[in-house]
Structure 1
C-alpha cells in the first residue's frame, strides 16, 4: 500500500523536485516515509524560518520552486516570514505542512501545535492555501500549484495535510496536467507598441526581476531602440557593462531625471514598488510622459496604471518587439544619455556609498560570475543604490520588498545547493547574522562552500543613523555580538578577521579554494 505521504514524494519527483528543506516532527513523519528511498535530497536547517529562506534562495538560483516540509503550529508560523519575503519578490515556494486530525480542527481542544485556524492564517500570505481533506485531492492541488508557478506571477503556495490523512492509502497517484495558459500580447498590441517605439526620440527601459528571463532579448531591444536601461535591485546582472546600462536605483535624482526627460518608458517585469522607486520616501518619482508596462500579472498592472498596460510574458514580448524594430543603435544618443545618468548617479550617492560599491566591485572582479546573496546591511543597501553585477539573477537580497533580517545566510545555502558549480557569497551584518547563526551548522552538514562575509558595524548602524538624523536619541541599536571567529570555529568552519581591506582578494580566493564553508569578518571601518 502506498500512503498519501509516499504518494506526495512520488508526485514531487514527477515535478522535477530534487531538494526539500525541513525539520521533521511528529506531525510530519508520515511525509518522510518515502523520502529516504527517493531521489529527493533532504536538507535540515536549524529553524523553520531557515527552511523557508533556503527554499527561497534555491528557487532564485534554479528558477524551480523551492519546497519546504514543516510541522503544524510553530513550524508554519516560523515559516511565514520567509513566505512573506517570497511573496514580495515573486519567488515560487511550495510549503507543505501538517495540521492536526480533521475531527479536531477549530475546536480548541488543546492538541499539540494547535492553532485556531491555520489555513485562514496562511491565506493572508500565500498565493493560495489548500487543505487536503481526501487523498485523491493531492494530485489535483499539486497540479494547481505548479501551474501557478509556471504561468503567472509566482509566490508561495501552502498545502496542509491533516495527520490522519497522511497515512491513508493513495495507490496509483500520477501527475495531473493542469491548464496553465500564459498571457500573450496580441498582434495589434505589438504593432502599436512598435509604432510608439519608432515615434519616440528619447526612449528608456526599466527592468525588474520579472525581466530576467528576457535578458538576452533585452540587449537586442535596447540597442535597436538606442534606449538607456535602468535596472532595479532584482534586475541587476542584465546587460552587465553595456554602455546603455544604468545600474542605479530609480530612487536617485539622476535616474529620475533620465526617466522624466524620456518621451517613452517601457517598464518590464517590475512592480514599481517604493523600495525600488521611492526608498527615501520623498514622493519624488516623476510623472512619466508615456509609460508602457509589460507584466505577467494583471493585478500589478492595475496598481500602477500605464497608457499601455500589456499583460504578457516578458521574454516573449521583448523578443517580438525587437523583431519588429529596425537597427537604430546610436541614432538617438542613448549611450550618451546613459553615461550622463550613470555619472550623475555615482556622484549623487556620495563618498560613503561609493566606498561600499568599490568593495562590491572588488568582490565581483575577484570572483567573477558569482552568486551574491545579501541580508539587510550597509554594503547591500549601497549595492541596491548603485552596482553592476556580472551575472543575471545572481545579485539578490532581502533589503527590499518585505525586508526580512536573517534572510542572507540560509538563502545563500539554498542558492549554493541549487547551483553547486557557482561560487556563492553571502554578505550579512553582525546584527542580521544573529537571527540565524545556527544555519552555519546546516552549511557544515551539507559541506556547502558558501563564503560568509560578516559586515561588522557593531549593531544596527543604519537604524542608529536614521534616528540621529531626526533627532531621536538612539535606543536598542547596539546589541552585543559574539566573536564570530570563535562561533565559526565551534562549527568547524575556517574563518579570519581582516586587518586590512587590501587583503580581501587573497582572502576570497583562499575561501573559494577550500571548497568548504568559510567565514570572513570585516569591520566596516576598514571600508568607511
Structure 2
C-alpha cells in the first residue's frame, strides 16, 4: 500500500537518506570518503546512528551481525573502488548466509566509467564485481530511478531469499536534484504455498512411519510456526548450522545440529519421508566429518528460493514458500496430532541417537566442550554467540545447545575468517540489551583486530573468547592427515592481552575453567569489550580437557 503525499525536489543523496528513514533504517556502518561526503550533508536531520569502523570489511561484517541479530536489513555505505572491494568478503558472506544488507556505494563520475583515465579509486567495472556478491545490484545512471531501485531492494529483502542489495551511484549524481515522494513505506508479504501442495505435504509426512525434518537458516524468522509444525507432526528434527535453535536443542524431538554424524546419517537413509525446510542441503553443513548422507525416501522441499528446490537433492514434492507460511498451511491440513505412543517412540530414537554421538568428534573436542559448557551454563537463553572459523567454534557448531533460533552465528557458506568480532559489535549495536559473545581464534582475530577501536568508541561491551593455539589449527591437522609438510600454519602471535588493553579494552589470560566463568560474568556487565584469552597449551590445559 502506498499513500501518495507531497513531492519535493532534493539532492539525490538526501533523497536516498529520506527513503531509508521511511523504511525504518536507523544505523549506518560507514567510513566517510571524498566520494560519499554528499550523503552526510543532511545526515543530522535524519536521525541515523553512524558507526565508523576502522576497515570497510569491518563495516560489512557489522552490518551482517546487525541483520542477523535484529532480523532487519542493515545499511553499509562505502566509497568507490577500494571501499567496496575491502567490504566484498563481508558482503559475500551475507550473500552465502542469506542475510539482508543494503549497500550504498559511490562510483566514479558517469563520464569516467570504463574509460581508464586513472581517476581516483577507479575500477574497470565496479558493477561487475557487485553482481558476483549481491542478490540484486543496480548502477544508477539517472536520478529519476533512485526511488524505484531502492523500493525494489527492500521488496527483495522481504519477499525473496534475503541477500545483499548493492546500489551504486556515480558521484556526480549524488548532489544532482531528483524528485522524491514523501509517502508511507510499502508493505510487502512473502510467498505462501498453494493449499493443495500443503495438503500433499501434510498427507505424506502424517502417513510416514520414519519421517525426519531437516531445518535450515530459512526457518530462523519463522521458528515459532516451524516448531508448532514439528510438535503437531511429532517428527524428529535436525538442523543445519544456520538453523541452530529453530527447534530448541533441549527439545525431546531435537537432534540439534548434528547432520555430519553417523547416527543422523543412518536415520536419514532409513527415513521414508524427509521434510527439508529452508535449507540448501549443501556440503557446508557436513564439514565437521565431511561424510555425506543419502535420502532414498521421499523428499519434500520447502524454500523461498526457487533455485534451491531441486538443488543437490531431487524432491518428490517441491513447494515455493516462506517457511513460516508453509508450516502454518501444512498444520491446517493435519487432521490430528501424533499419538502419544508414536511420539514416545520417536523421542526414544532421539535419545538413543544422541547417546551415539560420541565417535566422530575431533581429538581436541573434549577441551572445546569444557569451554562451551561454561558458556552454556552462564549465558541467557537468547544470548547470541558470533563464532569465527576456529576449532573451538567448529565443535560448537554441533555441540553448543542453542535454545532459540538466531542465537548462533557462524560463517557457514563463504567460510571466511575474521567475521565474529565485528559481527558481534554490529549485533550488540542492534540489540543493546541482549547478551552477545564473540568466539575467535588467534589467526582469525588478527583479520579484524582493529575493530576493537570501534567497539570501545561505541561503548559496546562484548566478551571475546580467544582460543589461542598459535596456528591455523584446522589446516595444520588436514596437512598432517594428508602427509603434507605443515608450511605456513604455525604462527607468531602477539601479546593479545597487551594489545587489547592498548585499545582500551579489558583483557585477561584465563588459567582455569572456574576463572573463565567468573570473568565471563564480569565481561557481560561492562560497556567495553573484554578479551578472554585461553591458551591451548597453557599450564591449566588439563583442567580444560576434563
Q: Is the 8 A contact 2:508 2:533 kept in 1?
A: yes
CA 351–102 in structure 1, closer or farther in 2 if over 3 Å, else same = closer
Q: How many residues align?
A: 526
- Larger mean CA deviation between 129-138 and 80-89 belongs to 129-138
TM-fit CA distance, 1:178: 6.6
TM-fit CA distance, 1:275: 0.7
CA 291–277 in structure 1, closer or farther in 2 if over 3 Å, else same = farther
Aligned to 1:455: 467
Per-residue CA deviation, residues 253-311 of structure 1 (Å, 9 max, x unaligned), is 111111112111111111111010455444x3113311111111101113132111111
Aligned to 2:520: 508
**Equivalent of residue 148 in structure 2, options 137, 140, 143:** 140
Aligned to 2:391: 378
CA 416–216 in structure 1, closer or farther in 2 if over 3 Å, else same = same
Asked if 1:60 corresponds to 2:60, the answer is no
TM-fit CA distance, 1:351: 6.0
Structure 2: stretches of 5+ with no match in the other structure? 1-8
TM-fit CA distance, 1:122: 1.1
Per-residue CA deviation, residues 95-141 of structure 1 (Å, 9 max, x unaligned), is 11100110111110110000111111211111121111121211100
CA 209–230 in structure 1, closer or farther in 2 if over 3 Å, else same = same
Q: Is the 8 A contact 2:302 2:323 kept in 1?
A: yes
Aligned to 1:479: 491
Give the 3-state SS of the residue equivalent to 1:42 in structure 2: strand
Give the 3-state SS of the residue equivalent to 1:320 in structure 2: helix
Aligned to 1:248: 257
CA 220–178 in structure 1, closer or farther in 2 if over 3 Å, else same = closer
Aligned to 2:408: 395
Aligned to 2:305: 297
Aligned partners of 1:252 and 1:149: how far apart in 2?
A: 34
**Equivalent of residue 337 in structure 2, options 288, 303, 327:** 327
- Larger mean CA deviation between 383-392 and 168-177 belongs to 168-177
Give the 3-state SS of the residue equivalent to 1:159 in structure 2: strand
Aligned to 2:448: 436
Once the two structures are superposed, the pairs formed by residues 347-386 of structure 1 within 5 Å of their partners are 347-349=359-361, 352-368=364-380, 369-386=382-399
Give the 3-state SS of the residue equivalent to 1:444 in structure 2: helix
TM-score, scaled to structure 2: 0.93
Aligned partners of 1:484 and 1:280: how far apart in 2?
A: 31
Aligned partners of 1:68 and 1:198: how far apart in 2?
A: 45
Aligned to 1:423: 435
- Larger mean CA deviation between 172-181 and 20-29 belongs to 172-181
Once the two structures are superposed, the pairs formed by residues 9-20 of structure 1 within 5 Å of their partners are 9-20=17-28
CA 170–26 in structure 1, closer or farther in 2 if over 3 Å, else same = same
Per-residue CA deviation, residues 130-187 of structure 1 (Å, 9 max, x unaligned), is 1111212111000000000000001111111111100011244445867956322112
Aligned to 1:314: 323
TM-fit CA distance, 1:40: 0.7
CA 387–329 in structure 1, closer or farther in 2 if over 3 Å, else same = farther
CA 439–175 in structure 1, closer or farther in 2 if over 3 Å, else same = farther
Per-residue CA deviation, residues 237-256 of structure 1 (Å, 9 max, x unaligned), is 22321111001331211111
Asked if 1:100 corresponds to 2:128, the answer is no
**Equivalent of residue 40 in structure 1, options 24, 29, 48:** 48
CA 107–82 in structure 1, closer or farther in 2 if over 3 Å, else same = same
Give the 3-state SS of the residue equivalent to 1:111 in structure 2: coil
Per-residue CA deviation, residues 182-216 of structure 1 (Å, 9 max, x unaligned), is 32211211111121122101111111111112221
Q: Is the 8 A contact 1:203 1:228 kept in 2?
A: yes
TM-score, scaled to structure 1: 0.96
Q: Is the 8 A contact 1:72 1:99 kept in 2?
A: yes
Aligned partners of 1:220 and 1:160: how far apart in 2?
A: 42
Aligned partners of 2:405 and 2:141: how far apart in 1?
A: 42
Aligned partners of 1:461 and 1:38: how far apart in 2?
A: 47
Aligned partners of 1:142 and 1:350: how far apart in 2?
A: 47
TM-fit CA distance, 1:365: 1.6
- Larger mean CA deviation between 433-442 and 388-397 belongs to 388-397
Superposition CA RMSD, Å: 1.7
Give the 3-state SS of the residue equivalent to 2:422 in structure 1: helix
Once the two structures are superposed, the pairs formed by residues 263-274 of structure 1 within 5 Å of their partners are 263-274=272-283
Aligned to 1:222: 230
Q: Is the 8 A contact 2:213 2:235 kept in 1?
A: yes
TM-fit CA distance, 1:383: 1.4
Q: Is the 8 A contact 2:144 2:179 kept in 1?
A: no
CA 357–175 in structure 1, closer or farther in 2 if over 3 Å, else same = farther
CA 219–178 in structure 1, closer or farther in 2 if over 3 Å, else same = closer
Aligned to 2:32: 24
Per-residue CA deviation, residues 367-416 of structure 1 (Å, 9 max, x unaligned), is 12311001100111001133321222010112x21011010111110011
Aligned to 2:349: 337
Aligned to 1:162: 170
Aligned to 2:4: none
Structure 1: stretches of 5+ with no match in the other structure? none
Aligned to 1:211: 219
Aligned partners of 1:383 and 1:337: how far apart in 2?
A: 23
